[in-house]
Amino acid sequence: MKLNRRHFIGTTAAATASLSAPMVLADGHAKPRVVVVGGGAGGATAARYIAKDSKGAIDVTLIEPTRMYYTCFFSNLYLGGFKDIEDIGHSYGSLAAGGVNVVHDWAVGVDRDAKTVSLAGGGSVPYDKLILSPGIDFVDGAVEGWDLSAQNAMPHAYKAGSQSELLKAQLMAMPEGGIFAMVAPPNPYRCPPGPYERVSMVAHFLKNNNPTAKIIVADPKPKFSKMALFQEGWANHYEGMIDWIGEDFGGGNVSVDPNAMTVTIDGEETKVDVCNVIPAMKAGRIAEIAGVTDGNWAPVNAVDMSTKADADIYVLGDASQQGDMPKSGFSANSQAKVCANAVRGALTGSKVFPARFSNTCWSLIDTNDGVKVGASYEATDEKIAKVDGFISQTGESADLRKATYEESEGWYAGITADMFG
Ligand SMILES: Cc1cc2nc3c(=O)[nH]c(=O)nc-3n(C[C@H](O)[C@H](O)[C@H](O)COP(=O)(O)OP(=O)(O)OC[C@H]3O[C@@H](n4cnc5c(N)ncnc54)[C@H](O)[C@@H]3O)c2cc1C
């Protein structure tokens, strides 16, 4: 990792401080101040846990531009018709009532010397500890012919809300026998089974509403998460509808033309009706602005999610480069609890428990046909390291698959309550 002089000073000073003097609070403020940027799976959880568990001993400010957070998790189920958009929308009112100072604005700058975060609307917020959980942004030029100005013609729907609604509207408007194309992302990206659960949900919708329609997936990868389970499910439920073109068949050699609505895969141009472009990803831009990224992601210490570049800045969830955990909401929520515990310990001297992490990713293939993959993890000096894992098997009974889907429903209710209170 390349460290500039400022990073070096920040790291050295912080390491020395943790060995000697108690923390000096910014501006001589009476209470320690934690600022959290991003009110998603990582940020909302961290803000809520620090406010709740410190019982007023720490001032917590959450900076989040949107007033409603639409979960990417279960947004595919919305596309498939299993959920309404209202089912996946959550407000920040309970967090505010729980003592979190919720500021609806964009964080646009981080001054690591003054320890302040500046806001798009003007002004700045001081911090003693800063937690960044901004999710993802897209790598410029990742898919030839596509940029953010084309996201209305060719939606990504990899940030939920209006993009999910747009993709659903396009799906519903497809002509009889039309073509739905997906450009899948390269590793690493948010939610490894996400694109393939989406293919399943789109196929479910089309089977019921437009059964002669076709789905083409251009994929730069030779294999993907839960591949055998998805391929079995696609053969069982959607035979002949899905054409997955992997790396071996030129799936990574793709360009799109949003005006002409064409997709060119390995030199072959196809006119399509809907094109879901999911470009390569990187950490949300504020992590880069704060100077804590190295390449596309922010390297962190597994024990507490503090960044390698600055011991007072923590990065959670998708934006972090942490080791073995997938970029999922479950992971971000799990990392947030470890981080909240460590931050509270550093600021108030409360007990810090050993870092343990867990994750499960469920995917719905068709009605009551749910599959899952998961693991537990621990912190090592190098990374968050996988300890053991499990995955659904091909050929499972319908009862087991139904139970797996019901488990995912319980998880959704649990995690959203854990995030927002
Ligand atoms: C289709 C799809 C399906 C998925 N399904 C699942 C699933 O079933 N299970 C699962 O566990 N995960 C799933 N995921 C992944 C999951 O949504 C993400 O991994 C998770 O949301 C990451 O949490 P985060 O806190 O890193 O980012 P996010 O939850 O995206 O939160 C980031 C927040 O930061 C805010 N923000 C960004 N920049 C700034 C800034 N400069 N200032 C202030 N705020 C800012 C954003 O507005 C946003 O609210 C899915 C993802 C997709 C796309």
**What is the mean predicted confidence (pLDDT) over 141-147?**
98
Please give the pLDDT value at position 25. Answer: 74
Of 85, 83, 104, 87, residue with least CA distance to 95: 104
Please give the pLDDT value at position 18. Answer: 41
Higher per-residue confidence, 3 vs 325: 325
Ligand 1 centroid distance, CA of 324 (Å): 18
| Model confidence band, residue 21 (pLDDT cutoffs 50, 70, 90) | very low
Ligand 1 centroid distance, CA of 400 (Å): 29
**What is the mean predicted confidence (pLDDT) over 269-293?**
98
| Model confidence band, residue 23 (pLDDT cutoffs 50, 70, 90) | low
**What is the mean predicted confidence (pLDDT) over 270-274?**
98
Most informative mutation of 73, 156, 334 for ligand 1 (most atoms within 8 A of CB): 73
Which atom number of ligand 1 is nearest to the Cα of residue 106? Answer: 42
Which atom number of ligand 1 is nearest to the Cα of residue 69? Answer: 49
Cβ atoms of residues 215 and 182 within 8 Å:
yes
Ligand 1 centroid distance, CA of 338 (Å): 18
Higher per-residue confidence, 283 vs 10: 283
Asked whether residue 12 carries a pLDDT value surpassing 80, the answer given is no
| Model confidence band, residue 10 (pLDDT cutoffs 50, 70, 90) | very low
Q: Is-cis flag, bond preceding 186, omega within 30?
A: no
Q: How far apart are CA 76 and CA 203, in angstroms?
A: 11
**What is the mean predicted confidence (pLDDT) over 108-137?**
98
Q: Which residues make beta-bridge pairs with 314?
A: 131, 306
At 40, list the tokens.
């998603």
Asked whether residue 9 carries a pLDDT value surpassing 70, the answer given is no
For 180-192, write each residue's pLDDT tens digit: 999 999 999 999 9
Q: Decide: pTM greater than 0.85.
A: yes
At 376, list the tokens.
């537990």
Please give the pLDDT value at position 26. Answer: 65
For 199-234, write each residue's pLDDT tens digit: 999 999 999 999 999 999 999 999 999 999 999 999
Spell 347-362 as b/e; 16+ CB within 10 A means b: bbeeeeeebebebbbb
Asked whether residue 306 carries a pLDDT value surpassing 50, the answer given is yes
CA distances in angstroms from 155 to 198, 255, 273, listed in the order given? 13, 15, 12
- Cβ atoms < 10 Å from Cβ of 152: 12
Most informative mutation of 127, 162, 328 for ligand 1 (most atoms within 8 A of CB): 328
Q: ∠ CA(197), CA(136), CA(75), 5° rounding?
A: 30
Q: Percent of the chain, pLDDT > 70?
A: 94
Asked whether residue 197 carries a pLDDT value surpassing 70, the answer given is yes
Helix (H, G, I), strand (E, B) or coil at 332: helix
For 89-115, write each residue's pLDDT tens digit: 999 999 999 999 999 999 999 999 999
For 68-83, write each residue's pLDDT tens digit: 999 999 999 999 999 9
Of 193, 186, 6, residue with least CA distance to 110: 6
Please give the pLDDT value at position 30. Answer: 85
Q: Percent of the chain, pLDDT > 90?
A: 93
Ligand 1 centroid distance, CA of 9 (Å): 32
CA distances in angstroms from 79 to 83, 138, 281, 287, listed in the order given? 8, 22, 22, 31
Q: How far apart are CA 390 and CA 13, in angstroms?
A: 42
For 357-389, write each residue's pLDDT tens digit: 999 999 999 999 999 999 999 999 999 999 999
